[in-house]
Amino acid sequence: MHQYDYQETFKKLYDKAVSLYNQGNRDKDSYFSPDESAFIAANGWRAQDFFDYAEDLTHHDDPSYEIAQSIEQVRREYFIHIQKSVASTELISSADLPGKSETLDGIVWLPRILPKARGKLLGQLPQETMYCCGGDRLFLQTHDIHPAEFLRVVWANLDNDVGILEFVKNRSQVATS
């Protein structure tokens, strides 16, 4: 795998997924060749991620390619540098995610996005769960936080919900000023 130009390959795979989705192909397992699938896995990504981005871009015109790429770059960095390119064998359970209306210190959605962001970072999201789905995007836009930035804050505060909460509260105050 070439490291220097991995972003170019990511873009080709992203464009391929969007094209296939727009052509009506909903079988994500047919999107990528074995070599492409190996490249995806070697970077800590999933075919599901490309499918989810294609689906949401087609139906909601969001997230943009740039946002998807920046999210996956954070995941890749964590996978390669922290996980030493060893995929997690555990998955979080979608059924265990906090409800969409739950709050943390009065902030709606924060209890839900925290385990999703950790799951994304650690490569532990189940296939049916997307980091940066419509609800996540609304939360992040409301608090003026870029999705990749939020992942980096979670990385820096992996076991520290208070640190993440303080970041969100501080950003929210700036966003409403």
pLDDT digits (tens, 9 = 90+) for 114-145: 999 999 999 999 999 999 999 999 999 999 99
How far apart CA 129 and CA 159 sit, in angstroms, is 21
SS3 track for 112-146 = HHHHHHHHHHHCCCCCCCCCCCHHHHHHHHHCCCC
How far apart CA 57 and CA 62 sit, in angstroms, is 5
Q: Are 91 and 126 in contact (CB under 8 A)?
A: yes
Amino acid at 108: V
pTM for the structure as a whole:
0.95
Query: What's the whole-number average pLDDT of the chain?
Result: 96
How far apart CA 47 and CA 98 sit, in angstroms, is 25
Q: Are 166 and 157 in contact (CB under 8 A)?
A: no
Per-residue confidence at 4, pLDDT binned at 50, 70, 90?
confident
Amino acid at 34: P
Instruction: Give me the phi and psi of 108, to 5 degrees please.
Output: -65, 140
